[in-house]
Structure 1
Amino acid sequence: MLERVLPLCLLLASNVFMTFAWYGHLKYKSAPLVVAILASWGIAFFEYSLMVPANRIGSAVYSVVQLKTIQEILTLLVFAGFSTWYLGQPLKWNHYAAFALIVGAAFLMFYEP
């Protein structure tokens, strides 16, 4: 059980760091671009420190394609919350519809007839 859940937790945490690295600076547009880049790199270090073990541990129970799919779904979930909570840009109905289609695609990645 732990071997299935631990990679998901690590992927979730890594996505939180990466979302802040990629989009967190948008809240501080007056900061110089070089500061935003350096801060993003610093944050991304922690993302990699979680993503690499997540993939290494997860590859024992998930295929690489499944790991990537899990990562993408978690990215969307984290981003949806981040966009609304941190950036104050709530999602619209069409965003939810698009996410639902992506979740449907993810289902197909795990479906074994």
Structure 2
Amino acid sequence: MATILLLIASNVFMTIAWYWHLGKGGLENPMLTVILISWAIAGVEYCLAVPANRIGFIAGWTPGQLKIAQEAIALTIFGIFMVAFLGEALHWRHLAAFGCIIAAVAFLFVGK
């Protein structure tokens, strides 16, 4: 459970680090400013992602399972961010793509 919670938290920070500047007024910031702010935010993400992966690995998750779980979480977090912060609408193709990722998660965890 700690692995999942840390991966969720790390993905919140990474989504913000990568995409915050695309929202209202963000494009007005100079690129260097955006990069420096994003690096600072991503530093927090690393402080959460590294322990998440170590804890998960020690608990018996394979690197492939850790990565695919991270991707599923990242898409979920991004979908929420995309709608709530960037104002984009969800379409059926977003849900279909997410379904494919969830299927990949299932393939890697079945029989483990």
Task: Report TM bin, short chain.
Answer: over 0.9
Q: Does 1:98 align with 2:94?
A: no
In the alignment of these two chains, the number of paired residues is 109
Q: C-alpha root-mean-square deviation of aligned residues, in Å?
A: 1.1
Deviation string 1:62-88 (CA, Å, 9 cap, x unpaired) is 111111111000000000000000111
Aligned-partner Cα distance in 1 for 2:28–2:46? 27
- Which residue identity does 1:50 align to in structure 2? L
**Identical aligned residues as a percent:** 46
Alignment of 1:11 with 2:7, yes or no, is yes
Unaligned runs of 5+ in 2: none
Aligned counterparts of 1:111 and 1:58: Cα–Cα separation in 2: 17
TM superposition score normalised by structure 2: 0.93
The equivalent residue for 1:39 is 37
8 Å contact 2:71–2:101 — kept in the other structure? Answer: no
Compute the TM-score of the two structures, normalised by the length of structure 1: 0.92
Quote the Cα distance in structure 2 between the aligned partners of 1:101 and 1:57: 26
Moved beyond 6 Å, runs of 4+: none
Q: Which residue of 1 aligns with 2:19?
A: 23
Partner of 1:48: 46
Gaps of 5+ in 1: none
